[in-house]
Structure formats: C-alpha cells, structure tokens
Amino acid sequence: MKGTVTVKTLAKELNISIATVSKALNDSYEISLETKQKVWDLAKKLKYERNPSASNLRSHKTKTIAVIIPEIANNFFSLAINGIEEIARKRDYHVLIYQTHENSDTEIAFTDSLLSGRVDGILISVSSNTNNNEHFKELVKKIPVVFFDRVFEDIDAVKITTDDYESAYNATCHLIECGCKKIAYLFALNNLVTGKNRFAGYLKALEKYNMLYTDEMIVHYDKDTSKNYENIKAMVSNQKPDAVIASIEELALPCYYVARELNLNIPKDLKIISFSNLNTAPLLNPSLTTIEQPAFEIGKEAAGILFKILEKKYLEPNENHILKSRLIKRESTSCG
Amino acid sequence: MKGTVTVKTLAKELNISIATVSKALNDSYEISLETKQKVWDLAKKLKYERNPSASNLRSHKTKTIAVIIPEIANNFFSLAINGIEEIARKRDYHVLIYQTHENSDTEIAFTDSLLSGRVDGILISVSSNTNNNEHFKELVKKIPVVFFDRVFEDIDAVKITTDDYESAYNATCHLIECGCKKIAYLFALNNLVTGKNRFAGYLKALEKYNMLYTDEMIVHYDKDTSKNYENIKAMVSNQKPDAVIASIEELALPCYYVARELNLNIPKDLKIISFSNLNTAPLLNPSLTTIEQPAFEIGKEAAGILFKILEKKYLEPNENHILKSRLIKRESTSCG
DNA sequence: TTTATTTACGAATACGTTTAAGTAAAAACC
DNA sequence: GGTTTTTACTTAAACGTATTCGTAAATAAA
C-alpha cells in the first residue's frame, strides 16, 4: 500500500502534527475552524479515507453491527433488514449479515466469533432449531444485543416482537366465525416465545368457542422442507380439517400444493391463513389471508434501540417492545 | 476492555514471547508442535479470539467481502447472497451487505467508502439507474471486484452473467409460437448489457418472424413503483398487446393487477412471461411463466472467482462467465 | 573436531489511528 | 501589570497483531 494517503500524509503536507489532523477530521473542539477547513479540503482533494481497522483498534468503535437471521430469502427478514439498514445508514454504520439457515451450531459459531470486537452490537432473530440459550446468555453480557421477532423468554436483553398471541387469537376467531369446525395448526418456533404465543392464541380461541382440539391436528415444522409437505399432506388426509393456520410462511405454501394434490378447493374445502409477509399473497391462487407483521418497522425499531444502547452506554431495562400485526383477509378464508 | 484476552495474556501465562504466540496461532513452521499445542490449548481454554482490527491493520487482510446489490427483498438477490455466503463461509470470510435501492449516488458513496481497506474484495450487481461507470473504473483499479448479473460492458473486471440474449429470444419465440401477434416489452436496465441483451433477444425474435414493432409497445422501468403500474396500464389499454415480456420481476406483478383492472384474462387475452426468481410463481393466479436465472449458482460462481483473485493475487483475464437460465412454461402463457 | 546448517524462539518495529497530557501563546480578568 | 483562563496546537503513548531480523542451541556435514 505505497500510495495510501493517511493522516501522516495530510500532516506532512500541511506542516502540522498528525494529532491535529486526526482531531480536525473528527471535528474536535480543540482545533480552530481555519485549520479544520484546511485539513478537510486536503482530505477531500487527496481522497483520504480513514482506515477503519486502525480507527477501531484505537477507539474500540467499529461502526459496524451484525445481523443474525435464519434466512435472507424470506420477505419478512429482507424487509426487516431494510429497516435495519435505513437506520444504520443514517449513522454511517456498516451491516454484516449472517444467516444461520435455522442451524443452531452455525448460530453459536457466529455469536462466538462476534465476541472478538468485530462489531459494536448485534441484532438477532433466533434460529428455530435453537433450544439452548446458554450462548446467548453469555453473549448479552459482553456486547449490546437486541432480539427481534424470534426471541427467547429468559434472556436479559431488549426484545422487539409483535402481538403474536392476539394475532393468532384473532385469526383463529376469524376462521371460527366463518364456520370452521376443525382448525389444524402448523407449529413452528416451538422453543421460542414467538412460537409459543402464537400457539397459545390459537388454543385460547378454540377454548373460547369450545372447539375440539387434538394433537393430531398439529404438524410440527421440519428442517427438511420436503418432510413438511409430506407431514401436512398426511395430517390433512387423515384429519380432514376445514382450516389450517400456518405459524410461518414456509408452512403455508406446502398447503397450496397439498390442496391441489388432494383435490381440495381453497377456501371451500380448506381455508388457509398464515403468518406471512409474502408480497405475492394477493396474487396467489387463491389469494392468501395473512397475518402480516410490520417487518420494516420491526427492523427500524430494533436497530433504533440498539443504537440508543450504543450511544447512551447504558442498557435499557429489559422491556419488551411489541408492535401490532395486521390480519389481511383474502380469498383463502372467504366465507363463501 | 480489561478482561480481554490477547496474545499478551497467552504469552505471559506460558512464559513465552508474544511473537511466538502469534506465530503459533498462525500455525507457523517456525514453532515447534509442542509449543503450538500449548498455545492452542490455552487459547481455547481462555476463549481467545483474535482481534480482527489489529490483525487487519498489520496484515492488510480483512477476511471480509462486500456485496453491493440493488435490493435484498428480491428473490434473485437473496438467492445470490446465499450462494455468496456459502462460499465465503467456507473460507471464514465475513459478508457486508450494501443495498443501493437502485440509487446511483448511494452506490457511489458505498464504493468510495470501501476504498478505505474495510474489505478485501467486492461483488457488485449494478443499480439500474447508474448510467455513468467512472466510479467503477476507478474502483476496479484499486481493489478486486467481480460484477454479477447487472454488469457494464466496458469495465475491466470479471463479469458473471446469464444468457440474457438467448433467454429473451427463446421466450419471445415461445410467445410467437403460441400465436401471439403483438408482444409488448417492459424494459429495464437500459444502461447495462444485461438489459440491452434481453431487449436485443426480444427484437431478434420479432425480426425472425417478421413481427411488427413500435416504440409504443415498450414501457420503461420507473423508480417510482406506482408509475410502473400506471405506465403499463396505459400501454396495455392503448396498444392492446396480446402478450407482455417483463425484463425484470418488478414489472411482471403490476401486469397482474393491470389485467384484473382491465378485465383481461391471463393467458387468453394477455400472456405474460417474466425474468423472475419468484418462488411463488407456480402458485400465482394464473401461474407465471418465468425465465429463471440460476441465482444461487451465480452467487457461488461470482464469489468463487473473487476468492481465486484474492488468493492467486493476479487478476483473471477479463473473461465473461455466462450461466444458462431456464424458461419455465406455466399457465400465464398456455396456448389454450 | 571444526564448520555449516537447521530449528525454535525472542526483541523490536510497524500498521494508522486516537487520546491523555503537556505547553506556548493569546485572551480575559482583577 | 500580573495572574488566571482559554485557545490551539504537539508530543508521545497506546490499541493488538504480524513480521523482519537476530541469535542461541541443536544437529549435520566436513
């Protein structure tokens, strides 16, 4: 790197010390406006770019945050990242993305490696296959972390979620009011409050209407995508539910294929409702009733709080921020 | 950072020099296996994590690459990132994501800021609104860059693309063979070879079959999403084409809404075909015929070549790598 | 046995920045 | 006019790692 322009270059050129240059670049009050201007001008002219490693090594600020998510090819997480990025961009922060692909070991490897001071803070949406949260407990002691959407109950960190319980409750009620007598549930995120709350909302609605419920009506998410299709097909064939609630988007689409395969008409024979941020939901055949989470806002909120922690240097009380989801009724649950 | 464990900590504990520790950690041939083992054991025991900033400052290796893309909430790019990540993960590299949101100024700001040595290499898919490539010309002189999918013609860097010309040609032929007499084209990426080639393929097919072509049948992509809907609606109303080719996914979905609005039956009144990686394409109403790019493979290929450049320290000849897309025929172009 | 070579390590420096501590000159105060 | 305070800088020391160069001991070659 011979041609690199550093503070030294600027200092030599302007005949001032490198300390002055550094302070000028950081707009320190110690430096006169006149000098600052000279430094700024030369820096622009020579296209000086601060070396991030050196800066970070000295200041312990990386201007970088990490986002750990299960999967990027999912509209909810893509939108959440958009929200995160918007906030990060404003503060000139960089965003490292890590995908766990729902693998707990990968998740642990990521969190471990982020302990090295590569980032100032971390945003996490937990992998569905993570059932042990010890590594998170260690993590939150050492670096600011904000969890969003997929969160654990007993971790001492800020958590941004949506009103999962109420959403599932309302969705189930919607189906019941449409006349559904047997509503199956596609369970995911068993280990997380997120998943538990959704299921609890479903149960609560059934209870309110004195509806029957058996374990056979529940299909649990499988890492193996093709298994999900098989399991749902088996359940629908055997149990013959007249409605299905998918707790995650990945479980809703197989339902469409299953319905086709079994010659079931949606919504006449089988109504479907799903937690989902698919932007093609209105264009599906038939259009899909969704519980749409404010993904973009969740990202913004989570990032905003992380920066608040980073700036104020104090950890917020372990309060939960809960945003509201929207139930959008479409053809897949039309009451005919 | 008082509790931080550094090479110094390890050195003191083992009564050896920090140089030896550093070399041992890097598995240097200068260190005896016995000593190495002691260092490794202690490092693991104390959960030593190498400080990336210090390491990078000294070695000029960041173990980080940047990915600059227009939009993450797009299945093509999400999948490409998956491919990139898979390769990066194998080499223990970190991935910074930057979204331009199709904004050229943002793109320039990113490329400028990446000149500071924050990353070892960059993967770029160019924003559609970028019509000046001067900043890229400067960039590729200073840091290894691989372009993928959305590329400029005259930049001296490796480019990974798909067979856009042939794909568009084949798609157009498919429509013509279905009996279409007037095929509209939804143009995007005008400034890039990618966009030019797709359009050229379309034109070539028209020419082969002696089909009519007027500028009125072309709608150009607008940054303002709602404008796209309006423009397509106007074109379809006035020109009454019997088919539409969308050069990007973002232009295909508005067609569905336009068809509904104008009471046109897809595919009877209007056939639609689109460059797209939508995973709900088979579930749309009607299912969408797509030209599906091997997004995941493109990402893998691009990242693979970038690492080849990074490791071999020599720039590959400016050759183009062209992967094949697949035309997947569905209901939206069924010849009924 | 003497000399040359290899092995295994340490001392010291550099990477580019930030910052605590120090200082001369200018300004403000009585 | 003398003292204090403020302003605008500089010096020097970090941050944690990688690396060049040097060297003593062990081994091999003569």
Of B52, B72, B118, nearest to A116 by CB-CB distance is B52
Using CA coordinates, name the residue in chain A closest to B143: A1
Of all residues in chain A, the one with the smallest CA distance to B52 is A118
Distance from CA of B211 to the nearest CA of A (A): 32
Taking CA–CA distances from B63, the nearest residue in chain A reads: A118
The residue of A47, A53, A138 whose CB has the most chain B CBs within 10 angstroms, and thus the best one to mutate to test that interface, is A53
pLDDT band at residue B212 using 50, 70 and 90 as cut-offs: confident
Mark out chain A residues that contact chain B at CB-CB < 8 A: 1, 47, 49-54, 56-57, 60, 62, 64, 72-75, 78-79, 81-82, 85, 94-99, 112-113, 115-118, 253, 256, 278-280, 283-287
In this complex, the residue with its CA at the shortest distance from the C1' of nucleotide D8 is A31
**Domain limits, chain B:** 7-50, 61-161+295-323, 164-292+327-333
Determine the average pLDDT of the residues in B147-172: 95
Of the options 3.90.1150.10, 3.30.70.141, 3.20.20.80, 3.40.50.2300, the CATH number for the domain spanning A60-161+295-322 = 3.40.50.2300
CATH architecture of B164-292+327-333: 3-Layer(aba) Sandwich (3.40)
Q: Is the CB of A7 under 7 A from strand C?
A: yes
CA distances to A83, A272, A279, A287, B256 from A284, rounded to whole Å, are: 26, 12, 10, 4, 11
Cross-chain residue pair A53–B56, CB shorter than 8 Å: yes
Out of B64, B98, B284, closest to residue A285 by CB = B284
Q: What is the 3-state secondary structure (H, E, C) of chain B?
A: CCCCCCHHHHHHHHCCCHHHHHHHHCCCCCCCHHHHHHHHHHHHHCCCCCCHHHHHHHHCCCCEEEEEECCCCCHHHHHHHHHHHHHHHHCCCEEEEEECCCCHHHHHHHHHHHHHCCCCEEEECCCCCCCCCHHHHHHHHHCCEEEECCCCCCCCCEEEEECHHHHHHHHHHHHHHCCCCCEEEEECCCCCHHHHHHHHHHHHHHHHCCCCCCHHHEEECCCCHHHHHHHHHHHHHHHCCCEEEECCHHHHHHHHHHHHHCCCCCCCCCEEEEECCCCCHHHECCCCEEEECCHHHHHHHHHHHHHHHHHHCCCCCCCEEEECCEEECCHHHCCC
Q: Which residues in chain A are contacts of B50 at CB distance < 8 A? A: 116
Helix (H) or strand (E) holding A123: strand A121-124
Q: Which tens digit of pLDDT belongs to each residue from B40-50?
A: 999 999 999 99
**Nearest Cβ partner for A49 among B116, B283, B286:** B116
CA of B33 to C1' of D29 (A): 26
Whole-number Å distance, CA A46 to C1' C20? 30
Residue nearest to nucleotide C9 (CA to C1'): B20
Q: Is B117 left (phi over 0), alpha (psi -120 to 50) or beta?
A: left
pLDDT, tens only, B63-84: 999 999 999 999 999 999 999 9
Residues of chain A with pLDDT under 50: none
Give the pLDDT band (50/70/90) at residue B312. confident
Beta bridge mates, B320: B159
pLDDT of B153 reads 85
Quote the CA–CA distance of B3 and A117 in Å, as a whole number: 13
User: Gap from B16 CA to D28 C1', in Å?
Assistant: 28
Q: What is the pLDDT of residues B266-296, one digit of tens each?
A: 999 999 999 999 999 999 999 999 999 999 9
CA of A30 to C1' of C22 (A): 14
Q: Which nucleotide does the CA of B10 lie closest to, via C1'?
A: D16
Which strand C bases fall within 7 angstroms of a protein CB? 7-12, 14-21
Q: Which residues of B touch A60 (CB under 8 A)?
A: 1
Cα separation of A72 and A80, whole Å? 10
Find the chain B residues whose C-beta atoms sit closer than 8 A to any C-beta of A.
1, 47, 49-54, 56-57, 60, 62, 64, 72-75, 78-79, 81-82, 85, 94-99, 112-113, 115-118, 253, 256, 278-280, 283-287
Select from A102, A88, A159 the least CA-distant residue to A131: A102
Is B320 a residue whose pLDDT tops 60? yes
Using CA coordinates, name the residue in chain B closest to A112.
Answer: B49
Query: What integer best gives the mean pLDDT of chain B?
Result: 94
Look at residue A223 in the predicted model and tell me its pLDDT: 86
The CATH fold assigned to B61-161+295-323 is: Rossmann fold (3.40.50)
**Contact, B97 CB vs strand C, < 7 Å:** no
Q: Do A60-161+295-322 and A164-293+327-333 agree at the fold level?
A: yes
Question: What is the three-class DSSP state of A9?
Answer: helix
CATH no. for B7-50: 1.10.260
Residues of chain B (5-64) having a beta carbon less than 7 angstroms from strand C: 15-20, 23, 30-32, 34-35, 54, 57-58
For A118, the token pair is 């590569």
Taking CB atoms and an 8 Å cut-off, how many pairs form between chains A and B? 120
Can you give the pLDDT at residue B315? Answer: 59
Q: Give CATH for domain A164-293+327-333.
A: 3.40.50.2300
**Residue A22: CB less than 7 A from any atom in strand C:** yes
- Put simply, the answer to whether B256 touches A283 (Cβ < 8 Å) is yes
